[in-house]
């Protein structure tokens, strides 16, 4: 959104992991455990639980592991039964993550790993023609100047993997779609991998700096209060949807507390029971409060994450996130609400104010003006190093 604000034409690509070994594993588990799945489809709405069962079988059963890898080959080869099951699993997953994107007001174009499957042989052939392929232990590798560890364009078993897909993807984005600037947003653990991908793209003549720019926008780990990777009490990975639900619930609880305090204050001021307005408004008031809690809760989660230095890990805390004081979304939203209330009470329409008549007289006004004047410089710095927490 910062890039779009600057006038760039931005494509928001969701490079989902919808291909490879994990899908061979899921499809094989579906076929082996539910052979009549076409007529009697099992409930796989909880893909996390389904994945755990498939992964357990993959780790414990060598025969299942072999069949899963063979299923990957079938999938990559266009086997219709494998593709049908793959589409089914993808649809279930898509419905769930689109719900989360909608709640966060995130709009993305899905173009996952499977999108590049058809062009993988062509990309490998191009790299071969350019003299970039070296055969090592039966695998076709691409060595770069930035690492002694090569990228694997084709695995020793003849299959394509993570490296193959990312090479095809960077080529597609630079050559076919003529992108000027690619920003890869993943965890910091993949930094070395993308450094090699970018170097290979330059060696292949796809990436032509300074005409084109490639950046890896890596981010750190979210931790619990114990300083370890954020997990539930049972050791499970924390789902974003659960974080959003909890943030909304806590925001709603606080709003209701404040509302009760206001009612008690009105009672004391009136000297008797409550008047009709604050005490009888139920449905509309509840709906408004629910919407407000949603806005506060979701904004609090987003802002708390975005205000962190992305190169560092941080501890997740609902209390700090929903704190009405300090550098939080809640504080800013309440401050904005108070400002709007002042305008309403003063009967001022800010759209009619003349900027030419603005006078800066008080020290606080000057301090605010100087801070606002720094906004363009901060945005320019963000475009340079992609640290949006400034």
CB neighbour list of residue 25: distance below 8 Å, 6 or more residues apart:
54, 55, 57, 58, 68, 71
Residues 1 and 105 in one domain: yes
Last residue in a domain, options 64, 87, 109: 109
Considering the domain architecture, whether residues 269 and 326 belong to the same structural domain is answered as yes
Residue 224 covered by a domain: no
Same domain, 256 and 292: yes
Q: Are residues 251 and 324 in the same domain?
A: yes
Say whether both 30 and 71 belong to one domain. Answer: yes
Q: Please check whether residue 230 lies inside any domain of the structure.
A: no
Q: What is the DSSP letter of 201?
A: H
- The pLDDT value recorded for residue 281 is 43
What CA–CA distance (Å, rounded) separates 55 from 45?
17
Write out pLDDT tens, residues 7-40.
999 999 999 988 888 899 999 999 998 888 877 7
One domain for residues 296 and 363: no
Convert the pLDDT of each residue in 48-76 to its tens digit. 888 889 999 999 999 999 999 999 889 98
- Tell me if 226 is assigned to some domain: no
253 is a domain residue: yes
Q: What are the tens digits of pLDDT across the range 107-148?
A: 999 999 999 999 999 999 999 999 999 999 999 999 999 999
> What confidence score (pLDDT) does residue 268 get?
79
Check whether residue 37 and residue 59 sit in a common domain.
yes
Give the domain-ending residue among 59, 77, 109: 109
Residue ranges in the chain whose pLDDT is less than 50: 274, 276-284
Residues 180 and 277 in one domain: no
Question: What tokens were used for 338?
Answer: 């108070």
pLDDT of residue 239: 83
Look up the pTM and report it: 0.85
Any domain includes 329: yes
Return the pLDDT at 41.
72
Compute the radius of gyration of the chain from its Cα atoms. Answer: 27
Q: How many domains does the chain have?
A: 4
Q: What is the pLDDT of residue 136?
A: 93
How many C-beta atoms surround the C-beta of residue 300 within 10 A? 25
Tell me how crowded residue 240 is: count the other CB atoms within 10 A of its CB. 12
pLDDT of 233 reads 65
Decide if 228 is inside a domain: no
In this structure, the answer to whether residues 92 and 142 fall within a common structural domain is no
Domain of residue 91 covers 1-109
Helix (H) or strand (E) holding 326: none
Residue 206 sits in the same domain as residue 271:
no
Which of 177, 147, 208 lies closest to 10, judged by CA? Answer: 177
Check residue 232 and give its pLDDT. Answer: 66
Which of 109, 142, 164 terminates a domain? The answer is 109
**Phi, psi for 219 (deg, rounded to 5):** -135, 155
Please give the structure tokens belonging to residue 360: 């800066």
* CB neighbour list of residue 31: distance below 8 Å, 6 or more residues apart: 37, 71, 81, 85
């Amino acid at each position: 959104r910062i890039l779009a604000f600057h006038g760039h034409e931005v494509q928001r690509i969701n490079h989902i992991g919808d291909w490879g070994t994990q899908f061979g594993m899921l499809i094989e588990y579906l076929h082996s455990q539910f052979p009549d799945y076409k007529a009697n489809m099992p409930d796989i709405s909880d893909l996390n639980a389904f994945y755990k069962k498939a992964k357990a079988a993959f780790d414990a059963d060598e025969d299942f592991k072999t069949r899963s890898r063979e299923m990957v080959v079938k999938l990559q080869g266009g086997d219709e039964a494998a593709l049908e099951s793959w589409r089914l699993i993808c649809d279930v997953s898509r419905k769930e993550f689109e719900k989360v994107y909608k709640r966060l007001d995130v709009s993305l174009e899905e173009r996952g790993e499977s999108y590049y499957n058809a062009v993988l042989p062509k990309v490998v052939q191009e790299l071969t023609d350019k003299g970039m392929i070296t055969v090592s232990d039966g695998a076709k590798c691409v060595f770069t100047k930035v690492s002694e560890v090569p990228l694997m364009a084709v695995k020793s078993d003849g299959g394509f993997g993570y490296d193959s897909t990312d090479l095809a993807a960077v080529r597609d984005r630079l050559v076919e779609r003529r992108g000027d600037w690619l920003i890869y947003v993943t965890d910091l653990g993949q930094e070395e991998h993308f450094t090699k991908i970018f170097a290979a793209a330059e060696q292949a003549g796809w990436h032509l700096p300074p005409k084109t720019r490639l950046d890896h926008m890596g981010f750190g780990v979210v931790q619990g209060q114990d300083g370890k990777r954020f997990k539930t009490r049972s050791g499970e990975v924390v789902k974003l949807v659960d974080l959003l639900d909890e943030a909304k619930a806590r925001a709603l609880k606080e709003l209701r507390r404040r509302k009760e305090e206001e009612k008690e204050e009105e009672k004391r001021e009136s000297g008797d029971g409550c008047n009709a307005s604050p005490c009888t408004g139920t449905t509309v008031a509840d709906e408004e409060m629910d919407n407000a809690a949603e806005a506060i809760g979701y904004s609090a989660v987003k802002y708390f994450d975005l205000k962190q230095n992305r190169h560092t890990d941080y501890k997740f805390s609902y209390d700090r996130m929903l704190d009405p004081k300090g550098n939080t979304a809640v504080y800013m939203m309440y401050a904005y609400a108070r400002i709007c209330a002042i305008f309403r009470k003063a009967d001022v329409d800010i759209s009619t104010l003349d900027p030419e008549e603005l006078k800066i007289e008080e020290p606080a006004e000057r301090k605010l003006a100087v801070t606002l004047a720094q906004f363009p410089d901060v945005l320019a710095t963000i475009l340079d190093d992609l640290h949006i927490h400034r």
